[in-house]
Structure 1
Amino acid sequence: MCQSKDDGFVKYAGVKVPASIDSRVNQSTSLEECKESCFNNCSCMAYASSDVNGCTIWFGDLFNIRKLPHGGKDLYVRVPTSELSTKHRSKLKIIIATVASGVCIVFGLLLAFYCISRKRRKQREKMDRTNDGQNEDLELPLYSLSTIIDATDSFSFNNKLGEGGFGPVYKGRLTDGQEIAVKRLSQTSGQGASEFKNEVILIAKLQHRNLVKLLGCCIEGEEKLLIYEYMPNRSLDCYIFDQTHGRQLDWSQRFHIIEGIARGLLYLHQDSRLRIIHRDLKASNVLLDDEMKPKISDFGMARLFGGDETEGVTKRVVGTYGYMAPEYAIDGQFSVKSDVFSFGILLLETLTGKRSRGFHDQKHNLNLVGHVWRMWKEGRSFEAIDECLRESCTLSEAMHCIHVGLLCVQELPEDRPTMSAVVLMLGGESALPQPKRPGLYVGKYSSSEVDSSSSKNETFSSTNECSITVAEAR
């Protein structure tokens, strides 16, 4: 029994009743009788009306009491008489109000987080559905990262074939024995997800004997991989710019390579269901299979046209020094004729065995195009032919190919032939017009100027050339 005159009860309206393992429900007891019962027991800490008839009293410590925005019960808590003053009650109300406000803020944050998470989840699901539909449309196999790691021996350095603007390329072998080439997007690459997606979408829809075949891709975490058919004889630049390996390609083989590249470009420009401008045609992007047949690769910078579109303008110039048409390098104007210009440069490189970007006629201060043009004007074109080809080539065929190359590198796009005309020209089925003075005829700048320009504009790089994203007129 305890009837301390120093105790009393404070009412807390609309609260969640305490969570206590020590409580008792008194049936058929009025609230006043419940108060008297609690007051007479020193261990009783609080009482409240019950959900059924009667009331509930609590003993010991009270846990988890909080204000409810709606509903709740009136709880009467035992406190010393000294705490029954108005001032102390106001303090308790402030504390309860603060706690309630904090609970509301936390609840609001949780609700906002839930809404944001739900919105992002819906966006991901929508994107996944889009990607799934796109994959079904492309019919492109997806490889797991573990499969590619096993095939390349964890991207072993011994399996590395080379490195370009996209990233390193590795040789691999699948469990069924098929050899593959794996292009791995580098984290420091100037190219990125857009170029990766562009190459997947474009080349997956293309099928031609002179285009490299994309077998599939892998996208897991930060890894973005493209899986191609393996080309055992590497790229064209490994042969035409090397005196030792260059002798492995006689005139007949080089001519067939030139024809194959021309047919591949013709397919891109005209014969495929998509009209595509490659924009980065160069010797290192022409791969050779086991029979030395050429296949155009690297479509990360290609542009797709629809309907009757044949040209466009961009503020983001991409490509490689020495291969870009003047109107594209200076004004950002590109068209199928831009690829024709690049093909002309590649044709002259294949015939002469000299790099467009590295050659300089010091006596006349001319680059490769200017050098070949001067030889042509002087009737000495045969002297421009690679020495290792002079014994195996036919003079008339060699002169004919140089003539076609000069027509392709004309300064004005309208003066250049289309690839369909080029294929006919190479087949000797049409008369050739006289070429005008070609574009990029001027001599080479000093090494300091070239280095400065390259360091300022260079973004994409490859093993043999430096590619750029912005070109400024000099």
Structure 2
Amino acid sequence: MSEMVTDTSKATLLSTLPTRNIPASFLKQITNDFSPERELGKGAFGIVYKGILEDGEVIAVKKLVESSLVSHEKTFSNEVGNLMAVQHENIVKLVGFCHETHKKVVQHNGRYIIVEIAEVLLCYEYLPKGSLDKYIFAQSNRIDWDLRFKVIRGICNGLYFLHNKIHGPVVHMDLKPENILLDDNMVPKIADFGLSRLFGQEQTRMNTQNVVGSLGYMAPEYLYRGEISTQSDIYSLGLLIIEISTGEKNAPNFDDKCGRTFIEKVQQKWTDKYITSKYEPFGADCVQQIKMCVKIGLQCVEQERKNRPSIADIVDRLNRC
């Protein structure tokens, strides 16, 4: 294990050393004891805080919380284990982590007992623009098509790396606009690997009885049969591409966990004729790119996973456009 950061004089080492274990006391200090004023956002598995180092550098610190469905131990193992192997422009960088336990006396059923409390935290590069959902739906700060297309290509390049370029495919399992973060130059980075799974070299599919994910983005075979494969990500990616391309939001509910209502709405509305009439003033290239992206998105959300394109095919088509 790498050398531990023991005081604020070593704070600047965070940006130059490889991933390492950082004391909880240090992370409490740089987040002002996890002050609500430092909160950057909340997710299913934790709260993210802004950590300000001695030299002014900023990192994002995620404090994991227990979930009734997934323990923070499993979330920690997934994120650290899978992200330590990943270095890519379009994947958020893990810069440190903390896993400490301490004993505490608490009252339980009228008696005092000693329990073990875990401090489980993850530290990432700070991405000041926040998550993608802030830029593709709201009219006030909606990004233009050229930037949307670059974001789509960046996300696909990051997913291609996860599925093909490390020891075994990493399946993210929770692709959605809230889990795509943007840097100062609006470069997209895939984030939040709390549900991710790492496959062995010869493994292409696995099954689970613990189906956990985001409403509206789960592939049917995962939701109903617990099947996990790279095609699970392709389904979620399709919904993400459709949302970015159309600017329309998938509004799922407990009766539509796969987003089929949204998909059918897009199929009916976003025809080639509609796209041409809507975007013709912006030029032929724009029209063709939007048509292609909507088509790719709809192919990705085929109910039968074998009918979905691979990420390699998607990247190739985007690069040729």
Residue 310 (structure 2) aligns with:
418
**Alpha-carbon distance, 1:375 to partner:** 2.9
Matches within 5 A, 1:85-96: none
Taking structure 1 as the reference length, the TM-score comes to 0.56
Cα RMSD (Å) of the superposition? 2.5
SS in 1 for 2:218: coil
Q: Distance in 1 between matches of 2:281 and 2:159?
A: 28
| Matched residue type, 1:271 | K
Percent sequence identity is: 40
The answer to whether residue 299 in structure 2 is matched with residue 404 in structure 1 is: no
* Contact 1:167/1:189, CA 8 A, preserved across alignment: no
**Alpha-carbon distance, 1:139 to partner:** 5.4
Matches within 5 A, 1:158-197: 158-187=37-66, 190-191=69-70, 192-197=72-77
Describe the superposition over 1:106-125 as per-residue Cα deviations: whole angstroms up to 9, x where unpaired: xxxxxxxxxxxxxxxxxxxx
Q: Distance in 2 between matches of 1:378 and 1:263?
A: 26
Residue 288 (structure 1) aligns with:
182
Describe the superposition over 1:163-206 as per-residue Cα deviations: whole angstroms up to 9, x where unpaired: 00111100111123221000001256754211111111110111
Gaps of 5+ in 1: 1-131, 360-365, 430-474
Residue 13 (structure 2) aligns with:
none
Residue 245 (structure 2) aligns with:
351
Matches within 5 A, 1:112-261: 132=1, 140-187=19-66, 190-191=69-70, 192-221=72-101, 222-246=118-142, 249-261=143-155
**Alpha-carbon distance, 1:269 to partner:** 0.6
Q: Distance in 1 between matches of 2:69 and 2:39?
A: 20
| Matched residue type, 2:151 | I
| Matched residue type, 2:250 | S
| Matched residue type, 1:197 | S
* Contact 1:214/1:227, CA 8 A, preserved across alignment: yes
**Alpha-carbon distance, 1:405 to partner:** 1.0
| Matched residue type, 1:416 | R
* Contact 1:281/1:323, CA 8 A, preserved across alignment: yes
Describe the superposition over 1:380-406 as per-residue Cα deviations: whole angstroms up to 9, x where unpaired: 2457x7x9x985881121111111111
Describe the superposition over 1:84-129 as per-residue Cα deviations: whole angstroms up to 9, x where unpaired: xxxxxxxxxxxxxxxxxxxxxxxxxxxxxxxxxxxxxxxxxxxxxx
Gaps of 5+ in 2: 5-16, 102-117, 254-259
Residue 233 (structure 2) aligns with:
339
SS in 2 for 1:180: strand
Q: Distance in 1 between matches of 2:86 and 2:296?
A: 27
Q: Distance in 2 between matches of 1:174 and 1:378?
A: 51
SS in 2 for 1:367: helix
SS in 2 for 1:168: strand
* Contact 1:280/1:318, CA 8 A, preserved across alignment: no
Q: Match for 1:322 among 201, 216, 224?
A: 216
Matches within 5 A, 1:7-22: none
| Matched residue type, 1:243 | Q
| Matched residue type, 2:296 | V
Structure number with greater CO (CA < 8 Å, separation at least 6) is 2
Residue 192 (structure 2) aligns with:
298
* Contact 2:215/2:252, CA 8 A, preserved across alignment: no
**Alpha-carbon distance, 1:241 to partner:** 2.1
The answer to whether residue 261 in structure 2 is matched with residue 367 in structure 1 is: yes
Residue 106 (structure 1) aligns with:
none
Q: Distance in 2 between matches of 1:224 and 1:238?
A: 28
**Alpha-carbon distance, 1:411 to partner:** 1.5
Q: Distance in 2 between matches of 1:427 and 1:411?
A: 26
Q: Distance in 1 between matches of 2:202 and 2:237?
A: 22
SS in 2 for 1:165: coil
Taking structure 2 as the reference length, the TM-score comes to 0.82
Residue 453 (structure 1) aligns with:
none
SS in 2 for 1:320: coil
Residue 48 (structure 1) aligns with:
none
